[in-house]
Amino acid sequence: ILNVEQSPQSLHVQEGDSTNFTCSFPSSNFYALHWYRWETAKSPEALFVMTLNGDEKKKGRISATLNTKEGYSYLYIKGSQPEDSATYLCAFESEGNTGKLIFGQGTTLQVKP
């Protein structure tokens, strides 16, 4: 059974704080690691697809890193804003099962003004 773990489960920060959270995934049969942002009452929005060990991707104030050898990825948000409040999901895609995303439970971020 493939396990994808995210921590922390929830996070409350003040506007302007920088924050980061973790996604752990199996280190074998790695194909890709996906990050999504999911706001309440909306659909999950794709942030990054990470494929290479050492990959670092950036979109505005959000960035992500990838370590496939040890099986973890970090998502960073610099200078959090209230509109960053959402649940952030990671999903593992394995070789031989491409297309099948195994999602973590998510980290719910609340940014207070």
Partner 1 sequence: NAGVMQNPRHLVRRRGQEARLRCSPMKGHSHVYWYRQLPEEGLKFMVYLQKENIIDESGMPKERFSAEFPKEGPSILRIQQVVRGDSAAYFCASSPGTAFQPQHFGDGTRLSIL
Binding site for partner 1 (CB under 8 A): 32, 34, 36, 42-46, 49, 51, 89, 91, 97-106
* Cα maximum dimension of the chain: 45
In terms of Cβ atoms closer than 10 Å to its own Cβ (0-12, 13-18, 19+), residue 18 is: exposed
Contact 38, 88 (CB under 8 A): yes
Q: How far is the CB of 32 from partner 1 (least distance, A)?
A: 6
Cβ closest to partner 1, residue 71 vs residue 104 = 104
Cβ closest to partner 1, residue 77 vs residue 89 = 89
